[in-house]
Amino acid sequence: MSKISVIAVWLLILLTPVPFLSNILIMEEGHFAYIAVNTEKSKPNNNSDLLLIGREKGVDQWEGPRHPILPYLVIAKVFRAFSNPADFDLWTLEEKTRAARLPFYITYVISMLPVMLMCAWLFRRKTWGEISLPVIFIGFLGTCPLLVGGALQTYYDGNIGVLLTTLCALGLAGIPRLKSLPLRIAILFGCGFLSAMGKNEWAIAFMGAVLGTMIMYSASPHKYPNFWFLSVSALLGAAAGSLFHLFIDSFNYIQGVYLIHSFGYEPHRNYIRAFIYRIPWILPFIPISILSVFILRRFLKELLSTHFTHMILLLWASILFLGFIITPHLGDGFPRYFCPSMAAFLSFLIIRMEFIDFLSWRPKIRLRLMVLVCVLIMLHMGYFTYSHIRQRSIGSIPGRYLIAHKAMFVKKYKHFLLTGEVQKTDASMGYYFQDMDFINNS
């Protein structure tokens, strides 16, 4: 019973995004699609300017992403290598869309493998009563609109970002199980290094989490051998990763630092309105916070001694969440910036639920919680079913009527063919119609 339930939940998590692979690309998703799919026309001029911003007289115009370059190089070099460019111009818009979204979705599936490994520690318990509530709760978080929508976007926050996060989480989760000091040092250094392979703020948040754990440890009476040595190795890893990113492309790395400031300070935007707008996607963070506080109160001694790397993971998830919740930047309307935080929280809860004796809880409380979480999963499925049937976007511009968006693309392309005028439209048209001159307005 328990094995079947676990398999069913993971199939639900991994397969929920599949029906949306053909959802039309919107706005800046075209930037990433253009470099991810090898159409023979979409060839960046160098390894620094990787975003298509327009096309004039058939010549692509490129600019730098203004973020650390490595994730873009992964998209341009790795994703691109697996695409088949044959007869691209003859493909339907749906076929072009699937070709663009598929490598990002596959990356998301791979990102769940470390989570499954962490689940294996939790699911060693034999009886269904012991694992029923954790399994259902994992299903709730794994099917939340934030992770499902992020898995399909051709932006990298919800797939490559989640992969980096879960790999780091796996390393942090495994440290208390290892006895070899050199191996623990190497893994913590590697976790820090990986945290710096994405956006600037991910590494900053990781270093903040390590420093926060060090401060809490210094104020705690609990002691752990080699704590300071291990913690410093994590900091050095993040610093080394940041320097590596700076070395391979200093311009885009420094621009990423400037973007942190510009996103955090947008006086023309309403902070309260931005917060209210995000509520549907960040609601799962409420039960996450409740369970995290319960774990902190119950296991604080362990989290500041033998399992201090779990505290690093919790603080990393919290800083990533709080860092974005206080910004008014909405982008394309989908809060993909929270995806790494959700993945980190999911990993933390999985590795800590192993130590919770759920059978000691009152049966009525367990049953009510299970029913509540099952209802929430059904609400998720209802949202996805409605969005699929009604052809509504679950990613960029959430709720956008996709048929109307597709019709707008076709209309603009026909207008270009008739007049030859440069079209002011979003970058996705530059991917779909690679003979069309355009200026990006997104």
Closest by Cα among 208, 141, 111, 174 to 345: 141
CA dist., res. 291 & res. 133, Å (int) = 12
d(CA 383, CA 377): 10
| Percent over 70 (pLDDT), the chain | 97
Q: Where is pLDDT greater, at 128 or 152?
A: 152
**442 has pLDDT over 70:** no
Residue 230, pLDDT above cutoff 80: yes
Lowest mean pLDDT among 58-62, 107-111, 400-404: 58-62
- Across the range 327-351, mean pLDDT stands at 92
Measured CA distances, 330 to 104, 275, 276 (Å) = 22, 9, 11
Mean pLDDT, the chain, rounded, equals 91
130-142: per-residue pLDDT in tens?
788 899 999 999 9
Quick one: pLDDT band at residue 269, thresholds 50, 70, 90?
low
Q: Please check whether residue 147 is in contact with residue 339, taking contact to mean a CB–CB distance below 8 angstroms.
A: yes
Q: What is the pLDDT of residue 246?
A: 92
Contact indicator for 246, 270 with CB cutoff of 8 Å: no
Residue 348 CA to residue 173 CA, distance in Å, equals 8
Q: What is the pLDDT of residue 125?
A: 64
Give the bridge partners for 61, in sequence order: 54
Alpha carbons 98 and 106: distance in angstroms, whole number: 12
What is the token pair recorded at 246? 């700076």
Query: For the residues 54-83, what does the mean pLDDT come to?
Result: 88
List the strands of the sheet with 51-56, edge to edge.
Answer: 59-63, 51-56, 438-440, 423-425
> Using CB atoms within 10 A of its CB, is residue 5 exposed (0-12), middle (13-18) or buried (19+)?
middle
Give the list of residues 6+ apart from residue 360 with CB closer than 8 angstroms, or none.
none
State the Cα–Cα distance between residues 240 and 396, nearest whole angstrom: 34
* Mean pLDDT in residue range 142-160: 95
Length of the chain as a residue count: 442
Q: Sorting pLDDT into bands at 50, 70 and 90, what band is 318?
A: very high
**315: pLDDT strictly greater than 90:** yes
Place of tokens 């900053």: 204
pLDDT band at 359 (very low <50, low <70, confident <90, very high): confident
Region 165-190: mean pLDDT is 95
Q: Assign 53 to helix, strand or coil.
A: strand
- Looking at per-residue pLDDT, the higher value among 51 and 214 belongs to 214
Mean pLDDT (whole number) for 364-390: 95
Rounded CA gap, 107 and 110, in Å? 5
SS3 54: strand
pLDDT of residue 395: 92
**178 backbone φψ class: left, alpha, beta (φ>0; ψ -120 to 50):** beta
The answer to whether residue 64 scores a pLDDT higher than 70 is yes
- The confidence score (pLDDT) of residue 1 equals 52
Q: Which residue has the tokens 């691209």?
A: 88
442 vs 26, 27, 31, 331, CA distance in Å? Answer: 9, 6, 10, 9
What is d(CA 64, CA 47) in angstroms, rounded to the nearest whole number? 9
pLDDT in tens, 281-301: 999 999 999 999 999 999 999
Query: Is pLDDT of 122 > 80?
Result: no
Q: What percent of the chain has pLDDT over 90?
A: 64
41 φ/ψ angles, rounded to the nearest 5 degrees: -90, -30
The answer on pLDDT for 334 being more than 80 is yes
Please give the pLDDT value at position 423. Answer: 87
Q: What is the pTM of this model?
A: 0.94
How far, in Å, CA of 188 to CA of 317, rounded?
17
